[in-house]
Structure 1
């Protein structure tokens, strides 16, 4: 499935600098820059991304990147944050039914391969983490602790490792070598995708079965 950037709800307090005065024109310009930045960073990463190309694709002067986002790094973080927020809004975490959540997260991400690619670039090129992500993971760990304590989820695995394993399994088909994908199949093929999803859900259910 092809994926094109959409106008996710943008939360300015989380996602980068903005001009002091908001106007319909300024919001439209920022939206074009975010979409152009998404396309550029997905294709080339942060280091390879060029503000000249972003500005040209957005149809505006490149100085507006610095006005709205401080610099290229700020634009990159704003682009990443808006898609992480969209993922959080689109897939509600369910610690009591971790396998079902893993399946929904798999669907969301593999419907959006460009977002997967963007997050891959971020993991390669940036050590810094955002408040949005840190808070999200902290809440997930708290929810897992509660579900395990209340016997609504069963697992002998430490919640920190359980969360890491689950996310690693969800994204497993995004990072293997091309040779491995040639051997086992790519999730762009619908049959492979459905097989992979079923295997993922079964694996997470095996290590952390729901109790309700």
Structure 2
């Protein structure tokens, strides 16, 4: 008796194997045969379910970004708490930053897959900061888009560059806690009214 086919489970295994492969090797270095082997799936199913390798990467990254947006909604009225939650998220979900770093290395400033949808998503983040500025909840010195970029960068750098964190501040629990506190102080200074 042969096993029952479960396309949803196979697709999920392929997706998780692809996420790990892309995080480890980037788009150019990822290999469909390794993804198939890890997912215990036929290589042709990968193409049938996801299209080519670039499309598979785009779907993996988009899903991880949607997960982040769902789990970490922006709080423009309390950006330091939001950044602290992002630091925690990136510590527990390191794959996302690796995927974003690979995307930056491989696409640079050229056209990105699904760029319009992502731009729309970040437009909403910038508008949340603009609204908080209009209401007087945060300082208006920095343009909202710049503020969003800076805060996202602060949150990402902490987890994306563990080697720099180790060299500059140490790699103990105490050092990481102190750095997170310093990041919170810096964010509060950025958003505080003069």
Q: TM-score range by the shorter chain?
A: 0.7 to 0.9
Aligned pair in 2 of structure 1 residues 129, 196: CA closer, same or farther (>3 Å)? farther
Structure 1 residues 162 and 31: alpha-carbon distance in aligned structure 2, compared to 1, 3 A threshold: same
- TM-score by structure 1 length? 0.80
Q: C-alpha deviations, 1:117-157, integer Å up to 9, x for none?
A: 22211221134053442222110111111111111222311
**What do residues 94-135 of structure 1 show as CA deviations (whole Å, max 9, x unaligned)?**
111111111111111112222222221122113405344222
- How many residue pairs align between the two structures? 185
Which residue number in structure 2 is paired with residue 170 of structure 1?
155
CA contact (8 A) 2:97 2:160 kept: no
Q: 2:169 aligns with which of 184, 190, 196?
A: 184
Match of 2:20 in 1: 39
RMSD over aligned CA atoms reads 2.0
1:105 pairs, out of 86, 101, 104, with 86
Out of 128-137 and 56-65, give the one that drifted further.
Answer: 128-137
Contact 2:87-2:158 at 8 Å conserved across structures = no
Q: Give the number of the structure whose residues are more often helix, by fraction.
A: 2
- Paired position in structure 2 for 1:85: 66
**Which of 45, 50, 55 is the equivalent residue of 1:64?**
45
How far did residue 59 of structure 1 move?
0.7
- Tell me whether 167-176 or 191-200 shows the greater mean CA deviation: 167-176
Unaligned runs of 5+ in 1: 1-23
CA distance 1:129–1:205, shift in 2 (3 Å): farther
Distance 1:163 1:129 in 2: 21
Are 2:187 and 1:204 aligned?
yes
* Deviation of 1:34 (Å): 0.4
Contact 1:40 1:50 in 2 (8 A): yes
The list of structure 1 runs, each at least 4 consecutive aligned residues, that deviate by more than 3 angstroms after superposition, is: 174-181
Residue by residue over 1:28-79, the C-alpha shift from the partner in whole angstroms, topping out at 9 and shown as x without a partner, is 1110110000111111111100000001111111111111111111111111
TM-score normalised by the chain length of structure 2: 0.87
Counterpart in the other structure of 1:118:
99
Instruction: Determine if contact 1:81/1:132 at 8 Å carries over to the other structure.
Output: no
